[in-house]
Copies of this chain bind each other. A is one copy, B any other.
Amino acid sequence: MVMEINKVIKSTSNQQVKEWKKLKAKKERVKQNKYVLEGWHLVKEAMQANEIIETLLITPEFKYIDEIELTDEEIEVIEIYPEIAKQLSDTPSPQGIFAIVLIQKELEVNPALVDGAWLLLDRVQDPGNIGTMVRTADAAGFAGVIFGDGSADIYQPKVVRAMQGSQFHIKLISGDLIPWIEAFKEKSYPIFGSELNEKARPYDQVGRHQNFALIMGNEGNGMAKQHLEQTSLNLYIPIKGRAESLNVAVAAGILMFQLHE
């Protein structure tokens, strides 16, 4: 399909530009039901994954314009001036391509969904950590990640950047963790916590599993009590040196690769 530029926007105070800029805030993402995807690699992945792209924004300087193949003729293509790209971008040197992508409907809680390995985020805050954990979950062959209430938002720009396209590979869900934990229980799948307590077991002494949930807690405060009470087993990574703890994304990586069959 030949790509045609449908429109050119030069001014940062254009009304459409203002609406896109608002998508940096979660409230607006929920309202407009869209998020901004930035960079050629990710936009390409979104197209290949048949995501619903509303608009493609391209600066005149964008280098790979000849490589773009529109997968859907309804995608509007708008040329934007570099100043607009700068304002939309999450990085100091934007690549010159953005997609406005529709947010897909959240999956409802359902025990039929929870087969495989799942990562559950219990109020994890740092968007870089969260995005990295999603990317690692993808690499470790996990089925999905559940963003518990109080965790950073799936479509926050820094989360999206760190996920590196893994949102197109595995299921991402947000909401209250408790009903999901109950779904794992209904299937008798183990629920591993990651809080050091007197009953915690070293992470490399519990075998490998095909179906399970792993809960990672908040960077400073760990897991919420109400979730901890629901686990079948708490795991810890023995610290050999003098560091007080591990970065949560590193800890999650070590646990995911160790636990998954």
Residues A243 and B138 in contact in the complex (CB < 8 Å), given A250-B249, A257-B237? yes
Given B132, B141, B142, B241, which contacts A247 in the complex, CB threshold below 8 Å? B132
Mask of A188-199 contacts with B, CB within 8 angstroms, 1/0: 000000000000
CA distance A140 to B254 in the complex (A): 11
Interface string of A247-260 (1 = CB under 8 A from B): 10111011001001
Q: Cβ of A141: which chain B residues have Cβ within 8 Å of it?
A: 240-241
Most buried by B among A128, A243, A251, A254: A243
Closest to A126 in B: B128
A105 in contact (CB, < 8 A): no
Interface size of A by CB at 8 A reads: 33
Total identical chains = 2
Q: Does A29 contact B (CB under 8 A)?
A: no
- Indicate if the CB atoms of B128 and A241 lie closer than 8 Å: no
Cβ-closest 3 pairs across A and B: A141-B240, A250-B253, A138-B243
25 A-B pairs (CB sep. < 8 Å): A128-B128, A132-B249, A136-B243, A136-B246, A136-B247, A136-B250, A138-B243, A139-B239, A139-B241, A139-B246, A141-B241, A162-B247, A164-B243, A165-B243, A166-B243, A169-B242, A169-B243, A246-B253, A247-B249, A249-B249, A250-B250, A251-B253, A253-B253, A253-B254, A254-B257
Known contacts A135-B247, A139-B245, A162-B247, then 11 further A-B pairs from the complex at CB < 8 Å, ordered by chain A residue = A132-B247, A132-B250, A135-B243, A136-B247, A137-B241, A138-B243, A139-B243, A164-B244, A166-B241, A169-B243, A250-B253
